[in-house]
């Protein structure tokens, strides 16, 4: 569908599907084959935070054992000129560990708990949100982002049910896991197929095989989601993910390779940021109030023609905070708008 764009006194508004690089999270138990699957994505480069790709013939960043090395590598990749189309972060749980180590060194603490009253975990969430915002530079270069992560089983207490049950979740802290899941376009859970067999004595046991599958939609047993209409269960192959990497890959290739059209990446990134802001906030806050709030905070201004800048002009770290807690941000906008109206009376 071709995009159409109109202008209003405050916003440039577009309509239609927008092809762009994808933000993907794939997690599962150890040994299920996450790294091998990731090695088959379009032109990948691995940011190996735990040294788990030594058995694979892949391109990897050699120095990724500290947070400073990781952020430096991200900044270098964002400069472009390399031809890679997918950054694989292997794994998200070790990435979180590197960030915790960095914060403890920075604040001269032995443990994240030493900050007191949960403050360390709050800082961890804030810094991880900033890191996710810093990845926008890679998206602008047409690079897919693929986080791999281990899974863990947690007991879940449903508020509307009397009992509890076990479910697979990302092996991340409760501060970081929600940020990563909300940020991602696709969250895939990979696992071995286990069948229940009944023995002669009437008891049951799990029978596992070598068959592996990917789950793409949320159930009570695990977290998963996608924005591509994928079926609930997929073969554990990169071909099954063509709707995720295929359409965006052709767009990404153009952005990476087409030096003759440098404005293309900026235009498509601007549209994707605008689209994400509208998708996130249009049903929970008045968008005109949101724009005025951002202008009041100095995050947006007016161009030479008197038009308001588009959301792509926002500071990436500020955007990350907006998306990290959209309801809280929307509440702040509404309270600010109400106070302004009260003053104007």
Ramachandran class of 11: left when φ > 0, alpha when ψ lies in -120 to 50, beta otherwise: beta
Mean pLDDT of the chain: 82
Over 50: is that where the pLDDT of 259 sits?
no
pLDDT for the residue numbered 141: 92
Using CA atoms, how far residue 20 sits from 100, 221, 247, 258, 313, in Å, is: 31, 30, 8, 15, 18
188-208 pLDDT per residue, tens:
999 987 665 555 555 655 454
Q: What is the pLDDT of residues 20-59, one digit of tens each?
A: 899 999 999 998 999 999 999 999 999 999 888 888 899 9
pTM score above 0.85: no
Give the pLDDT confidence score for residue 273 in this predicted structure: 72
The confidence band for 309, taking pLDDT boundaries of 50, 70 and 90, is: low
Domains of the chain: 23-250 (3.40.50.300), 260-344 (no CATH)
Question: Higher model confidence: residue 333 or residue 301?
Answer: 333
pLDDT at 219 over 80: yes
Please list the residues that pair with 47 across neighbouring strands: 89
Measured CA to CA, the distance from residue 202 to residue 250 in angstroms comes to 54
Residue keyed to tokens 């994707």: 272
Give Cα 19 distance to the centre of its chain: 17
Q: Write out pLDDT tens, residues 89-121.
A: 999 999 999 999 999 999 999 999 999 889 999
Q: Which of 4-13, 142-151, 157-166, 332-341 has the highest mean pLDDT?
A: 142-151
Q: Is residue 265 predicted with pLDDT exceeding 60?
A: no
Beta strands in 257-344 (DSSP E): none
Instruction: Give the DSSP H/E element, type plus range, for residue 323.
Output: helix 316-324
Query: For residue 249, what are the CA distances in angstroms to 20, 86, 181, 245?
Result: 8, 9, 22, 5
pLDDT of residue 168: 94
The whole-number pLDDT of residue 130 equals: 97
């Amino acid at each position: 569908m071709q995009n159409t764009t109109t202008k209003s006194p405050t916003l440039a508004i577009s309509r239609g599907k927008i092809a762009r690089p994808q933000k993907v999270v794939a997690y599962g138990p150890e040994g299920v084959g996450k790294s091998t699957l990731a090695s088959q994505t379009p032109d990948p480069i691995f940011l190996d935070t735990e040294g788990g790709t030594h058995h694979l013939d892949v391109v990897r960043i050699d120095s990724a054992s500290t947070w400073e090395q990781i952020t430096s590598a991200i900044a270098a990749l964002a400069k472009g000129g390399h031809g890679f189309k997918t950054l694989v972060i292997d794994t998200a749980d070790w990435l979180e560990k590197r960030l915790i180590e960095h914060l403890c060194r920075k604040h001269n603490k032995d443990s994240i708990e030493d900050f007191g009253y949960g403050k360390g975990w709050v800082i961890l969430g804030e810094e991880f949100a900033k890191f996710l915002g810093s990845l926008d530079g890679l998206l602008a270069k047409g690079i897919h982002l693929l986080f791999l992560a281990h899974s863990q089983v947690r007991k879940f207490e449903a508020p509307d049910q009397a009992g509890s049950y076990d479910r697979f979740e990302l092996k991340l802290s409760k501060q970081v896991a929600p940020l990563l899941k909300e940020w991602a376009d696709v969250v895939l859970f990979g696992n071995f197929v286990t069948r229940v067999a009944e023995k002669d004595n009437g008891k049951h046991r799990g029978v596992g095989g070598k068959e592996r599958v990917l789950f793409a939609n949320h159930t009570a047993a695990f977290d998963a989601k996608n924005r591509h209409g994928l079926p609930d269960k997929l073969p554990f192959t990169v071909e099954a993910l063509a709707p995720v990497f295929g359409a965006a890959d052709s767009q990404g290739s153009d952005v990476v390779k087409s030096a003759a059209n440098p404005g293309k990446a900026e235009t498509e990134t601007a549209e994707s940021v605008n689209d994400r802001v509208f998708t996130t906030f249009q049903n929970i806050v008045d968008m005109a109030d949101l724009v005025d709030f951002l202008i009041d905070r100095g995050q947006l201004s007016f161009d030479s023609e008197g038009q308001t800048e588009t959301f792509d002009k926002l500071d990436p770290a500020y955007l990350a905070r907006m998306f990290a807690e959209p309801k809280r941000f929307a509440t702040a906008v509404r309270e600010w708008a109400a106070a302004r109206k009260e003053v104007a009376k």
